[in-house]
Amino acid sequence: MPRDALRIRDLVVEPGVKRRGFLTVGETGAGPVELPVVLVHGARPGPTLCLTGGTHGTEYPGQTAVRTLARELDPAGLAGTVIAIPVLNMPMFAARTAFLSPIDGLNLNRVAPGRPDGTLTELIAHTLFSEILPLATHHIDCHGGDLTELLWPYSAYRLTGKPELDELGTAMARLYTPGIFALFREGTPLTLTSGTITSEAAKRGIASILGECGSAGGLDPGDVRTHLDGIANVMRFIGMLPGPPVIRERQLVGTGQFVVQARRGGLLRLSVGIGETIEEGQELGEVWDVFGDPVETLRAPARGLIRIIWTHKVVSSGDLVLKCWTTEPAPPFALPNQVPR
């Protein structure tokens, strides 16, 4: 039976064809705010994978991976369909702001699924959740450290309590990450913040994972490669690309997290780096006053792996310095059968 064309508004793509365009979500006084969309409609049937980058406009490696994959994918060799949005949050992309939209002050990854009568950030989320994600069986939201964050790569999935979906989402997260993954669940130390895109998508039955790699507004080719490898590995697993997925050995699973804060104000002098494992009581650095006298020694409250270092060099009382995972070796990974959807 011939495959149907894929249609999103006036973007219509026949099987075996790639097409791109913009979806208008609203407007500012300066003109329309649009979502850039690339539709790669495979010649053969298969899953529909939505890839989103630029939920936060200055997290460049993930959006670059989505853009690169959408450019390189050949619909003739693809089973299924990729709906790629290189940059979800174009106002942030244009303004180069971190975390929050320059237009309405909202965090796009806290307002999902959005509102049709909301402001621009809510309208972006609403367009994603009402017109794009309902077409998808699988979804990857590509993030990284924002302008002020050094980040150690990881992936995450929000457990829903639906066994087949959770098995699929967990497998995708493990195939995406180079080393650490986390499974978020209500009522555990890894409770997920409400309104995140991946958790709201998973609630709607979509196997939706978070892929995090990249740091501090940078665009390191190795970070782009980490995202691209993760996406391709998931695509092999769900049968969109040929070949078996690579099973990564010796993974860690995040079991909890904690932060280290400064109590004193001054110049921060850290003596540890991103991805390092720290031991309880270990000295992490010092805070110096403006004359260079040490006023505080920072120590690890527990054993953990440093997942975020905030890049600020001067701190005030209560400022975040580090965020760490507590981890365990992940159980052996047996690839589940692809769950029919």
- Smallest distance from the beta carbon of 212 to Zn ion, in angstroms? 7
Size of the residue set binding Zn ion (CB under 5 A): 3
Of 4-12, 40-48, 56-64, 67-75, the segment contacting Zn ion by CB under 5 A is: 56-64
- Smallest distance from the beta carbon of 55 to Zn ion, in angstroms? 6
Which one, 112 or 241, has the nearer CB to Zn ion?
A: 112
Dihedral of CA 176/178/183/184: which sign?
Answer: negative
Contact 198, 173 (CB under 8 A): no
* Phi, psi angle pair for 99, to nearest 5°: 65, -50
- Smallest distance from the beta carbon of 173 to Zn ion, in angstroms? 16
CA distance 56 to 19: 24
- Smallest distance from the beta carbon of 317 to Zn ion, in angstroms? 27
**Which tokens sit at 114?**
């959005």
Asked if residue 323 binds Zn ion (CB under 5 A), the reply is no
Contact 43, 17 (CB under 8 A): no
Pair type for strands 180-184 and 252-261: parallel
- Smallest distance from the beta carbon of 141 to Zn ion, in angstroms? 8
Which one, 210 or 305, has the nearer CB to Zn ion?
A: 210
Dihedral of CA 326/332/338/339: which sign?
Answer: negative
Asked if residue 56 binds Zn ion (CB under 5 A), the reply is yes
CA distance 118 to 37: 22
Q: Which residue has the CB atom at the shortest distance from Zn ion? A: 143
Which one, 59 or 200, has the nearer CB to Zn ion?
A: 59
> Which residues sit opposite 157 in a β-bridge?
183, 209
Of 16-24, 38-46, 52-60, 324-332, the segment contacting Zn ion by CB under 5 A is: 52-60
Which one, 56 or 323, has the nearer CB to Zn ion?
A: 56
- Smallest distance from the beta carbon of 107 to Zn ion, in angstroms? 9
Which one, 104 or 164, has the nearer CB to Zn ion?
A: 104
- Smallest distance from the beta carbon of 143 to Zn ion, in angstroms? 3
CA 106, chain centre distance (Å): 17
Nearest CA to 208 out of 112, 72, 326 is that of: 112
First-to-final CA distance of the chain: 19
Residues 137-166 that bind Zn ion (CB under 5 A): 143
Number of H helices, E strands in the chain: 6, 19
**Which tokens sit at 257?**
């997290």
Asked if residue 227 binds Zn ion (CB under 5 A), the reply is no
Which one, 45 or 105, has the nearer CB to Zn ion?
A: 105
Which residue blocks in 128-239 are alpha helix, DSSP H? 163-176, 197-203, 221-237
Which one, 56 or 126, has the nearer CB to Zn ion?
A: 56
R_g (Cα) of the chain, nearest Å: 21
- Smallest distance from the beta carbon of 83 to Zn ion, in angstroms? 20
Of 10-18, 58-66, 74-82, 125-133, the segment contacting Zn ion by CB under 5 A is: 58-66
- Smallest distance from the beta carbon of 152 to Zn ion, in angstroms? 14
**Which tokens sit at 106?**
């909202």
Of 69-77, 135-143, 154-162, 250-258, the segment contacting Zn ion by CB under 5 A is: 135-143
Q: E strand or H helix at 123, and its extent?
A: helix 120-127
Which one, 59 or 166, has the nearer CB to Zn ion?
A: 59
Of 59-67, 74-82, 150-158, 231-239, the segment contacting Zn ion by CB under 5 A is: 59-67
Which one, 6 or 190, has the nearer CB to Zn ion?
A: 190
Residues forming contacts to Zn ion in the complex (CB under 5 A) are 56, 59, 143
